[in-house]
Chains A and B, each alone.
Chain A
């Protein structure tokens, strides 16, 4: 799975028609083609994200109604080749084990119904993976690190809860403390940041809400206030931004959209305008979506755009789970 941008551009070369549709077949082909680009330097320079990219690509294919579009066995083999003896996964073979890629590995295996492969061909069963994740929790403040060097980020906390709940192993961690940490990341504007005191950011709101949803503690959220802030992210062109006074970007269709969906307020943004904005980011000839019209497409924004449309109930797409 190449994570390199291109080859096409969102919006293509000319202006797209107003009554645009999602070119499902093109996007499926685009994602499938990503594995054939190993002769490009960018393929290797983005290796540190590989497993993550596989997850987004795979999920996009599921939403596009083509869950079998990637080769099953090869996907499993690749995932397992990224595992370390400590149970964690790196982004690709030879990369250190890290929370983000361990979460991606679990998500992929669950998506393709292959968790038992951990037992059969991995480095120990799912408990081993769970122990790696649990070992990264700071038992004093509840936060999670990405790796042994201790960088903390609410992304890691959400990832840990997500993966462990998929594996039915949340008992390995202190969920109460984790929830307290999320609370400590809440800000005066109703949003959440990457750590206590850090600026509110749509991506971090998604991770904090996702963690609270998994922990069954969405009752702690002032939904009206947060929903107000999130809906304020929509700009006149229909796109969403991540913070005040920043540019719109297709990825926030997912971060903001799914956050609003988790607190039942997705209708507070103008779905039609957002849908049109996302569709304008397609390359209707070669497939793929970009962050905004005119930029190069990539697998991440392809997922974010498709998932955003799915949240909005776009016809022909599978329904995405906001968490």
Chain B
């Protein structure tokens, strides 16, 4: 007797066994009986479009066995909304399986659907996300969900202190840097307006730009070879009038062309190459690119040589 075939609740349902669609019926399917049985009852209730408590608990059973089965999630959402179940209870259950299946993304879409039924953010939500980030602070699904959540409940103002704590823990967390950009600069961009491409070029409040530049610089000083804040810094500078030259003195702290053995950051060299080129100091720019091709980033020598080519300089030989 299986869990379902032996249960009072399921007496009236005729399970529908697996048909794998191929021309040969599969005689020897030996996948575990529990999963197989639950699936055959799922096929039956779905065929009837049954929306009931027992259907809901059946989906729960299957999701725990196989959380990536997207059809079960869709059906669960369907039943959940039809029965007008308590969304907070659903979140509780989701928390448990989210912590268990970190790579699954159906969970997050389902969570988003459920959250739209809740008028204000439950006090447990952010602590739960923090728990997720303790397991994996770069989880792409969780970050995407968090962006949605921030926009949905307008949580902008409290994000920066939390992000600060994440970057203090790991200054190389690129996801946290991206989220900082989102909170500081994307806040005023309407994602559905189709202006994203130009969004990077839209100038921002000079005070905020200055604050963000100082922030990125301070983080770079902690780990000069960390690419995330360098990318961030370049992005921020585009938000103000004037070019990259404003970063010249800062970048030279990490890369002095007169002392080529003491370069502390290839990203500083990269930036200086652009600064010098913009200032018409081609020789200096070429020298920075040469150092990158020969010594500080030789795996990308073709890229650095391409950049030299743009300045009309010849390729550097790297063996």
Instruction: Confirm or deny: A20 has a beta carbon within 8 angstroms of a beta carbon on chain B.
Output: no
Q: A149 — which chain B residues lie within 8 A by C-beta?
A: 74, 77, 109, 113
Q: B235 — which chain A residues lie within 8 A by C-beta?
A: 188-189
Closest beta carbon of chain B to A128's beta carbon, Å: 19
List chain A positions with a Cβ less than 8 A from chain B: 38-41, 43-49, 74, 77-78, 81-82, 90-96, 98, 140-142, 147-149, 151, 177, 180-181, 183-189, 193-201, 220, 224, 227-229, 231-232, 234, 236, 243-246, 265, 267-270, 273
Check A41 against B32 for contact (C-beta < 8 Å).
yes
When chains A and B are docked, how far (Å) is the Cα of A92 from the Cα of B74?
Answer: 15
Check B21 against A188 for contact (C-beta < 8 Å).
no
Contact A244 to B303, CB < 8 A, known contacts A48-B68, A183-B196, A199-B143: no
Closest beta carbon of chain A to B265's beta carbon, Å: 13
Number of A-B pairs whose CB atoms are under 8 Å?
171
Instruction: Confirm or deny: B231 has a beta carbon within 8 angstroms of a beta carbon on chain A.
Output: yes
Contact A77 to B23, CB < 8 A, known contacts A184-B197, A196-B186, A245-B172: yes
When chains A and B are docked, how far (Å) is the Cα of A188 from the Cα of B195?
Answer: 14
Closest beta carbon of chain A to B19's beta carbon, Å: 6
Within 8 A of A (CB), among B23-49: 23, 26, 28-32, 35-36, 43
Q: A177 — which chain B residues lie within 8 A by C-beta?
A: 194
Check B299 against A236 for contact (C-beta < 8 Å).
yes
Closest beta carbon of chain B to A149's beta carbon, Å: 6
Number of interface residues of B (CB under 8 A): 63
When chains A and B are docked, how far (Å) is the Cα of A47 from the Cα of B18?
Answer: 12
Closest beta carbon of chain A to B277's beta carbon, Å: 12
Closest beta carbon of chain A to B173's beta carbon, Å: 7
- Of all chain B residues, the one with the shortest Cβ separation from A201 is B140
Contact A186 to B196, CB < 8 A, known contacts A199-B174, A244-B174: yes
Closest beta carbon of chain B to A232's beta carbon, Å: 7
Check B238 against A188 for contact (C-beta < 8 Å).
yes
- Of all chain A residues, the one with the shortest Cβ separation from B176 is A199
Closest beta carbon of chain B to A159's beta carbon, Å: 15
When chains A and B are docked, how far (Å) is the Cα of A264 from the Cα of B225?
Answer: 28
When chains A and B are docked, how far (Å) is the Cα of A149 from the Cα of B108?
Answer: 13
When chains A and B are docked, how far (Å) is the Cα of A231 from the Cα of B74?
Answer: 39
Closest beta carbon of chain B to A132's beta carbon, Å: 16
